[in-house]
Amino acid sequence: MEMIHRYERFFLGSTLAIMGIALVAVISSFFIEDLELPSPVETVDPAELTSHPPFDRPGLFEVGENEYDAIMTAQAWAFVPSVIEVPVGAKVNFKIGATDVVHGLIVHNTNVNLTIIPGQISQATATFDEPGEFLMVCSEYCGIQHHNMAGRVIVK
């Protein structure tokens, strides 16, 4: 006598096959699409961040042809610098650390969406092909003025 009914065996098999296909899709997308999980590029004592180069001089630095490093700090309740101006077509590498609590950095209409954990430097790159203003907002609740923690990327 069969221990497992053939219908049950069929559904068990189908479930495992679907799980297998999903797993293969997720794992292969990392290689095919070159996906990366955001990971800390560096660790820094948050109390020392503002005296730790390059974060002792936050700002925009040209590092190549229309390519810039945006060196930023996040603290309650501001980004430094809060306004970044670049020419159209600029590639901007955002490098940001927090001095106090967890903040976030979302640059609207780009792929930049970082969690900024004190002690870690977060990094993301975006290319600005269209002129305009892109709002930067903090995406982690960081205290009573969280909703006012914002900035802009101006592309012209």
B/e letters for 66-99, b = 16+ CB within 10 Å, e = fewer, are ebbbbbbbbbbbbbbeeebebeeebbbbbbbbbb
- Work out whether 149 is an interface residue with ligand CUA (CB under 6 A): yes
CA distances to 53, 93, 130, 143 from 135, in Å: 26, 16, 14, 20
Closest CA to 43 of 122, 120, 124, 123: 120
Residue range at the interface with ligand CUA (CB under 6 A); choices 2-10, 17-25, 28-36, 133-141? 133-141
Closest separation between CB of residue 58 and ligand CUA, Å? 15
- Work out whether 95 is an interface residue with ligand CUA (CB under 6 A): no
Closest separation between CB of residue 67 and ligand CUA, Å? 27
Query: Is 124 or 155 the residue whose CB approaches ligand CUA more closely?
Result: 124
Q: Which of 71, 90, 138, 153 binds ligand CUA (CB under 6 A)?
A: 138
Closest separation between CB of residue 39 and ligand CUA, Å? 21
Spatial separation of the C-alpha atoms in residues 66 and 77, rounded to whole Å: 30
Q: State the residues that interact with ligand CUA by CB under 6 A.
A: 77, 103, 138, 140-142, 146, 149
